[in-house]
């Protein structure tokens, strides 16, 4: 998912429903807050912390997860989804079709640098979470279909409007951008089904416990 959502959900039987956001903010708030590598929660009040793809962009992931842990009660649980390698995802295949028309993507600043693949290695996930004080760290591969549009052109329009892709398209002239989007549309056609375009998404589902 992209962006931020807040939903009141009951995470475990008997727990008090609270707004849970996939965005990297602890605790959840209606206002803007610093990310958890820059804010220290004052109380340990939560039973569970959950994030869907909102945890790959921390400047200091160990500090961020340590602060998330401090917001959990002893025995509290963490459940996060992080992308596997883009080459494991169908999105990586369709985006590769645009590469010849766009500037090269900037190389990561270093291993584990913030970015979509920063937690693509389960060994790195374990290193970060154990360094942040979590235990019982388990990463399980998860594959699921993702619906991106009604047809190839619709899905290409949607994907082309997303932040990182839009940024790349804005670096080239209009004709080149149009060729890149045309290549994306062609690459999406094999994934068309009668009712939608579906791509296989590949992620790690990681759970851990605060001691």
pLDDT at position 109 over 90: no
Sign of the Cα torsion 109, 201, 139, 56 reads: positive
pLDDT at position 11 over 70: no
What is residue 4's DSSP assignment? -
CA dist 84 and 81 (Å) reads 9
- Which of 160, 210, 163, 162 lies closest to 185 in space, CA to CA? 160
What's residue 14's pLDDT? 45
What's residue 39's pLDDT? 56
pLDDT at position 158 over 50: yes
Quick check: bond before 96 cis, omega within 30? Answer: no
The pLDDT confidence band at residue 22, using thresholds 50, 70 and 90, is very low
Q: What is the mean predicted confidence (pLDDT) over 140-169?
A: 95
Model confidence pLDDT, tens digit, residues 35-85 = 555 556 556 789 999 999 999 999 999 999 999 999 999 999 999 999 999
- Which of 14, 4, 64 lies closest to 34 in space, CA to CA? 64
Model confidence pLDDT, tens digit, residues 121-154 = 999 999 999 999 999 999 999 999 999 999 999 9
SS3 state of residue 68: helix
Q: What angle do CA 61, 64, 68 make, to 5 degrees?
A: 135
Quote the percentage of the chain above a pLDDT of 70.
79
What's residue 8's pLDDT? 41
E strands, the chain, in order: 7-9, 18-20, 46-52, 72-83, 135-149, 197-209
Q: What is the 3-state secondary structure (H, E, C) of 50-66?
A: EEECCCCCCCCHHHHHH
Q: What angle do CA 70, 23, 107 make, to 5 degrees?
A: 105
- Which of 160, 145, 137, 142 lies closest to 191 in space, CA to CA? 145
Model confidence pLDDT, tens digit, residues 24-37 = 344 444 445 555 55
The pLDDT confidence band at residue 113, using thresholds 50, 70 and 90, is confident
Model pTM above 0.85: no
């Amino acid at each position: 998912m992209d962006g931020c959502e807040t939903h009141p959900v009951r995470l475990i039987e008997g727990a008090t429903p609270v707004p849970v956001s996939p965005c990297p903010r602890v605790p959840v708030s209606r206002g803007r807050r610093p990310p958890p590598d820059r804010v220290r929660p004052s109380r340990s009040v939560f039973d569970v912390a959950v994030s869907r793809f909102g945890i790959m962009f921390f400047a200091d992931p160990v500090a961020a997860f340590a602060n998330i842990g401090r917001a959990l009660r002893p025995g509290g649980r963490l459940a996060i989804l992080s992308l596997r390698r883009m080459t494991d995802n169908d999105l990586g295949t369709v985006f590769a079709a645009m590469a010849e028309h766009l500037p090269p993507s900037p190389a990561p600043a270093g291993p584990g640098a913030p970015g979509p693949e920063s937690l693509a290695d389960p060994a790195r996930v374990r290193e970060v979470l154990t360094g942040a004080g979590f235990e019982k760290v388990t990463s399980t591969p998860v594959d699921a279909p993702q619906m991106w549009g009604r047809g190839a052109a619709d899905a290409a329009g949607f994907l082309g409007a997303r932040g990182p892709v839009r940024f790349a398209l804005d670096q080239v002239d209009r004709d080149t951008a149009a060729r890149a989007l045309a290549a994306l549309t062609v690459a999406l056609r094999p994934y068309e089904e009668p009712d939608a375009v579906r791509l296989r998404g590949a992620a790690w589902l990681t759970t851990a416990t605060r001691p």
